[in-house]
Chains A and B, each alone.
Chain A
Amino acid sequence: MARHVVAPVADIPPGGRHVITVGERRIVVFNLGGEFFALSDRCPHQGGSLCQGLLSGHVESPAPGEYVYARRGEMIRCPWHYWEFDIRTGKSWFDPKRVQLRQFQTHVETGAALQEGPYQAETFPVRVEDHYVVVEA
């Protein structure tokens, strides 16, 4: 596993997303209120690309006719068959035990720390004073 520099933090504002390719894998990084989460971009159903999907909330219901809607912007839906995944955990809603997206460790590093290595970066300059999103994959 290696640490990959994804992008400057400023490039992925809250509610935004960014895609990187690591080898054969595509990874999509989301910013939820300042926290970063990285998931496999490929839906386990038929391979739909999640970075193209809809960011939505999660509705639960204690009883028919009642809608408890929360976690707006924290669920990603596959653009194809609409399977719903929790960005924070990668788990599908309908079968959290058996159907999930692979998660990747993500954290934020300063430019200074990155310059000390070892990191793989897309080809953009790393500036000491900026912060960057890093994914381990």
Chain B
Amino acid sequence: MLAAARPIDCDVHPWLPGTAALHPYLDPFWRDQVVERGIGSLDTQSWPVLSPKSIRADWRDAKGRGADRVELLRAQSLDRLGTDTAILNCLAGVQIQLNQDMAVAFARAVNDWIRAEWLDRDPRLRASIILPMQNIEAAVAEIERLAPDPRFVQVLVLVMGENPLGKRTHWPIFEACVRHRLPLGVHAGSAYRHPQTSVGWTSWYLEEYAANQQAFQSTLASLITEGAFTKFPELRVVFLESGVSWLPSFLWRLSKTWKGVRFEVPWVDRSPFEIVREQLRLTVQPFDVPTEMVPRLLDQLRGERMLLWASDWPHWQYEGDAALPPGLPEALLPRILRENALETYPRLLQGAMV
């Protein structure tokens, strides 16, 4: 049973039921705008509600929705698995908004909703600060606003944004992250500024879900080559729901190219392997590796400190309570289930009530 390891679940998703839930947290203007203009939902195509993957069948309510109350999280995940601490990553569609002021209003409201209706209701919970990437200054302001609350342990962006994440325009965010010891969480999903692939829009959701794998590679390439990791040696980046198995081959290619094209990015002063081992972490749910290949993949990865356990509730990644991807070696479990998270998220223990 997982419980004995006092596991830390690094990726759970409270699902905003609709903008009505945000009313208490919006100022009067935006509250009225939302009602008067019929802006009812912040669901996005990254997580179609009725997609089998978005909410596991036995976790849905009669209307097909779910995951919108802390009671459900407790009953369906925390209590069942014996989770010690869980980090909330809300995927409500703040980042797809085109009006930056509206996006900022929604971001603040979603963060406040998380705080009031989740963090305040269960001491096991921590959360990521949802950032309105439409306005970098506002994103930094949101970090400043919430950083004093130690239950916020990470900031959250989507892996498919408007500009590659490593670009210097984003650096004020990284600077704030480092200042407040908040890792940068990058989660699967899109802001839909671009199609799901560099070759256009996908037809099927299976393609779209798979396309996150490429987004994580591009994002990592950007963070490395733009020098974000070099400029911010204390920055920690966590890739959430990425699948993991893409990483070794990606690094093999990038590193090979770098040896010949180093002059283009001379501030990359260490091999990409070194940078990534030190500054990147990944959740293992899903873990896109057949069980019998896990030892070889881990051997290629050479990154025992990099892996973080997550249930990815309420996404359908496993059956019953088999929340640990099969094939992970026993000896690594203490790290994967708890120790790596404690090292990655320095604020975790700060927020402990006892």
Contact = CB atoms under 8 A, between A and B. Distances in A.
A94 B259 contact: yes
A63 B233 CA distance: 12
Interface string B219-249: 0000000111011000000000000000000
A81 B260 CA distance: 6
Contacts, number: 38
A81 B266 contact: no
DSSP class of A's interface residues: helix, strand, loop or mixed? loop
A64 B260 contact: no
A63 to B, nearest CB: 6
Interface residues of A, number: 16
Interface string B95-133: 000000000000000000000000000000000000000
A84 interface: yes
A84 B267 contact: no
Interface of A: 56, 59-67, 81-84, 93-94
A66 B267 contact: yes
Contacts of B227: 61, 63-65
A83 B259 contact: yes
A59 B261 CA distance: 11
B258 A67 contact: no
DSSP class of B's interface residues: helix, strand, loop or mixed? helix
A66 B227 CA distance: 11
List 10 A-B pairs, minimum CB-CB distance, nearest first.
A64-B227, A82-B260, A61-B267, A61-B266, A59-B266, A81-B260, A64-B267, A94-B259, A59-B263, A64-B231
A81 B257 CA distance: 8
A64 B259 contact: no
Nearest to A99: B259
Nearest to B263: A59
A64 B258 contact: no
Nearest to A78: B260
A84 B258 CA distance: 11
13 contacts: A56-B263, A59-B266, A60-B266, A63-B231, A64-B168, A64-B226, A64-B231, A64-B267, A81-B259, A81-B260, A82-B260, A94-B259, A94-B271
Contacts of B267: 61-66
Contacts of A66: 267
Contacts of A59: 263, 266
A83 B263 CA distance: 10
